[in-house]
Every structure is written in structure tokens, then in C-alpha cells.
Amino acid sequence: MKRTRKTAVILTAFAALVFAGGCQKTYEPAVINGAGEDGTAGTEFRYENAAMEDGTGQKELAVQTSIKEQNMVGDPAADLKDVNETVYVTGDSVNLRASASTGADVVAVFKKGDRLERTGYGQEWSRVRYEGMTCYIASRYVSATAPKIENETKAGTEAGIQAGEAQQVAFQTSWKYAEFSKINSGTAKLYKAEGENRKGITICVNAGHGTSGGSSVKTLCHPDGTPKVTGGTTGAGATSAAAVSGGMTFSDGTAEAKVTLAMAKKLKGKLLTAGYDVLMIRDSDDVQLDNIARTVIANNCADCHIALHWDSTSSNKGAFYMSVPNVSSYRNMEPVKSNWEKHNALGESLVAGLKSAGVKIFSGGSMEMDLTQTSFSTVPSIDIELGDKASDHSDAALEVLATGLLAGINQYFGQ
Ligand SMILES: [Zn+2]
């Protein structure tokens, strides 16, 4: 009985992903050719959806009113955005078509979990490569996220960590700001809470650093190409910075990237137990995702983004968050303009949570910093510095930090 219920939960969650259009959190119903946009036609052609493409037999609804010229209807294949990315089939028996129409020949039928290389993206149709041919598949039946396949080995079974259902999340070049990323062949992992207390809130946990080769590649600091307004790892005035820097080394010789990973795993366990879903940007020593790719994935697949770091000073100064610089040009640049208050509010909550857990806090708990992460974030997004080179990073210390971060996350989301 339990098994049945669990399956239903997975299917519900899965359906939510599919209907959200991959990882995107909102789905805009597609309308092809609004009625009479040119003042002559009055031709409206709407697909209710391409639901029949998944073999469930749902009826396609095509409404045509006041038709004067049937071929006023645009060619859906002509409006696709060029992309180059991996997607996964999310439905059973999904048709691959010779052209972007439900009337076109079926070239092949795919099953859930099949992988495809997408070369064009539109709300209705995606262009994919298949055995050397160019074919089309309904966009709503492919996703950046690999669907959960029955009998897949459970991930997240480390001692003390509640098991979660892990799904791979591939970077999508169709996502906003994706073109600014240089390293994005890796995949993040999405773990879903399984308890009765599941909240439906996804926390992106980004273990800082851990991308080999990342420091020798440069990406733009700002989407509009303007220079950084503060110093930091990269000096003020620079327009590009390391795609992912290597991170510092603790006074005892431990690499920061190793500690941020241990911290991320610990926080993941606590979040899953508390009912949050967790998007783990890095789940092992290396992930080939640069700071922009990490940010873009979080933008599309999570409700907030928390990057875990320790600072490069050696004074054991305590924890703080990197706040959005109070520089008008920066705060007026999108997407910072629309999101900076949320970033700072999340940072304040995290610091309050850490404080409540007894963690030492540096100064006022924040330091203004122009970060690539902040510059491309469209969800509440924070770089939290949990201490520095001289800080205790033992398992017990990380446990306290995780407790504090969870308290801060609860505060931010009103939980
Ligand atoms: Zn760091």
C-alpha cells in the first residue's frame, strides 16, 4: 500500500515538472498566431496542447474562426530558437515527427527517459537530431530533467541523510542568460522530500568551487558587459572573471571545495527531512558547471539559490553574506534591479538563523560584493561565507552551521 502511494507522489511530482515545461516554474500556454494581428485575417489557430503526442489519446483542440486563408497559420518550425542541449523524454510513447505538426509522419516513438540532442526550441515544438535527420517533438514532453525511472538506484543514502529521489538536471541553452556560460556540460541533481511534510519549495544548494579547469576560463561579470563595481577575487573595473575560481585552502591544508561539498551534503539532509526539495549543484568533487551555469539552473529549477563558501582571510572572523552593493548603476541593472531586495532579505534571514544556532557572525553580518552569481540571478540568491581559513570545519561545526542555515531558510520562507 505504501508503495502505491509513493508511486502516486512521484507521478504527481513528475507531472508537475512536465506541465511546468521542464524545469521552468511557470507554463505559458502557447498561442500560435493571434487572431487578426495584421488586421486582415481574423485567423485564430490554437492548440489546446499537444497532449495526444504522449499517446494518451487526449483530443487536440484546434479552433479556427473566420478563416479566410488557412495558410495564414505560421510555420512553427520557423520560429525556433537555436539551442544545443541535452533533453530527456518525459512521457511514454512520445512521437518524433518529420515536421513540426501533429499531422506529420511519425519517424520514431520514444519512451520516458530517452535522451535527445535538441537543436531548436519553441513553446510548441522542439527540433532534435535523430539518426542524422532533423525531426520534431512536442516541447512539453521533453525536459532538462531526467525523469525518475522505476528501479533506479536510490541516491542520497549516505548515513544520516534521508533518501531523496534524485533526478539529473541538465543545463538548457534555451534558458535566459544561458549564452553567457562557458562550462555547462555537467548536471545538477534534484532531490525530492518524501515525507508528509513536503513543502513544494526547492532550495538550490551550491557547494562553492569544484569545477576543474574553471579558473582558466573567463565569463562576463554582468549580462550587459559593464565592469564590476566592487573588488573581491576579481578587481573592480574588470568586465570578465574566472568562470569558477579554485577556492581557498584552509589553514590546516584542507581545500575549500572539499568543505563546501561536505557542508552541502549536510544541509541537503536537513532540508529533505524538513520537507524541502533540494537542487544540488555539485554532488561530488567535480561538476562541470561554471558560476553562470549554476545560477541559470537555480533560476529555472529552484525557489532560491544558496552558494556555500568560506572566506580567504585567516582571522576566524565569523560568518556573513555577500550583500548587493549599494551602487545605483548596479542596482539599476537587470536582473539585479528586480531581485536585489530579495537577495539581501535571504542573506539577512540566513545570518539571523546562523546567529540563533550560536554561530559567530562577522561585523554586521554582511559585506557588499559584486558577484557573478548575483549579477545573473532571477531568484533570491546569496553567497554565504560561513567563516574563513581559520574556522573550525569539523563535522560538529558543520552540523551547527547546517542547523543555522535551515533556521534561516525557514525564516525566509515563513516556515
Ligand atoms: Zn569560496
The model's pLDDT over 275-305, given as tens digits with 9 standing for 90+, comes to 999 999 999 999 999 999 999 999 999 999 9
| Cα 289 to middle of ligand 1, angstroms | 15
69-73, 138-142, 261-265, 293-297, range with the lowest pLDDT: 69-73
The per-residue pLDDT for 330 is: 97
Q: What is the CATH number of domain 165-412?
A: 3.40.630.40
Per-residue model confidence as pLDDT tens digits over 330-341: 999 999 999 999
Question: What is the mean pLDDT of the segment spanning 56-67?
Answer: 36
11-25, 166-180, 364-378, range with the lowest pLDDT: 11-25
The per-residue pLDDT for 130 is: 85
| Cα 136 to middle of ligand 1, angstroms | 42
Question: What is the mean pLDDT of the segment spanning 117-121?
Answer: 92
Closest CA relative to residue 285, chosen from 186, 352, 373, 362: 186
| Cα 402 to middle of ligand 1, angstroms | 17
For cell 561565507, name the residue.
385
Per-residue model confidence as pLDDT tens digits over 388-404: 999 999 999 999 999 99
Decide: residue 76, CB within 10 A, 0-12 exposed, 13-18 middle, 19+ buried: buried
Per-residue model confidence as pLDDT tens digits over 170-228: 999 999 999 999 999 999 999 999 989 999 999 999 999 999 999 999 999 999 999 99
The per-residue pLDDT for 385 is: 98
Residue 41 has pLDDT above 80, yes or no: no
Q: Enumerate residues 6+ apart whose C-beta is below 8 A from 158.
A: 265, 269
| Cα 210 to middle of ligand 1, angstroms | 10
| Cα 183 to middle of ligand 1, angstroms | 18
- CA torsion 190-337-383-367 (nearest 10°) is -170
Closest CA relative to residue 87, chosen from 51, 133, 138: 138
> Is residue 65 very low, low, confident or very high in pLDDT (cuts 50, 70, 90)?
very low
- Which is more confidently placed, 196 or 157? 196
All CATH 2.30.30.40 domain ranges of the chain, comma separated, are 29-143
| Cα 309 to middle of ligand 1, angstroms | 4
| Cα 285 to middle of ligand 1, angstroms | 14
| Cα 279 to middle of ligand 1, angstroms | 19
The residues that bridge with 291 in the sheet, in sequence order, are none
The per-residue pLDDT for 384 is: 98
| Cα 335 to middle of ligand 1, angstroms | 23
All CATH 3.40.630.40 domain ranges of the chain, comma separated, are 165-412
The residues that bridge with 170 in the sheet, in sequence order, are 187
| Cα 247 to middle of ligand 1, angstroms | 5
Architecture of the domain delimited by 29-143: Roll (2.30)
The per-residue pLDDT for 77 is: 78
Q: Enumerate residues 6+ apart whose C-beta is below 8 A from 224.
A: 333
The per-residue pLDDT for 133 is: 87
Residue 94 has pLDDT above 80, yes or no: yes
Write the DSSP string, 261-326. Answer: HHHHHHHHHHHHHTT-EEEES--SS-----HHHHHHHHHHH-SEEEEEEEES-SS---EEEEEPP-
The per-residue pLDDT for 235 is: 83
| Cα 386 to middle of ligand 1, angstroms | 10
pTM greater than 0.95? no
30-39, 75-84, 346-355, range with the lowest pLDDT: 30-39
| Cα 48 to middle of ligand 1, angstroms | 47
Instruction: State how far the Cα of 229 lies from the Cα of 362, in Å rounded to an integer.
Output: 22
| Cα 385 to middle of ligand 1, angstroms | 7
Ramachandran sector of residue 39 (left: φ over 0; alpha: ψ -120 to 50; beta: rest): left
143-152, 185-194, 307-316, range with the lowest pLDDT: 143-152
| Cα 234 to middle of ligand 1, angstroms | 13
The per-residue pLDDT for 224 is: 96
Residue 354 has pLDDT above 60, yes or no: yes
Give the rounded percent of residues in the chain with a pLDDT score beyond 70.
Answer: 78
Residues bordering ligand 1, an ion, CB closer than 5 Å: 208, 247, 309
C-alpha cell at 176: 535566459
Mean model confidence pLDDT for the chain: 82
Instruction: State how far the Cα of 264 lies from the Cα of 205, in Å rounded to an integer.
Output: 6
| Cα 388 to middle of ligand 1, angstroms | 9
| Cα 79 to middle of ligand 1, angstroms | 41
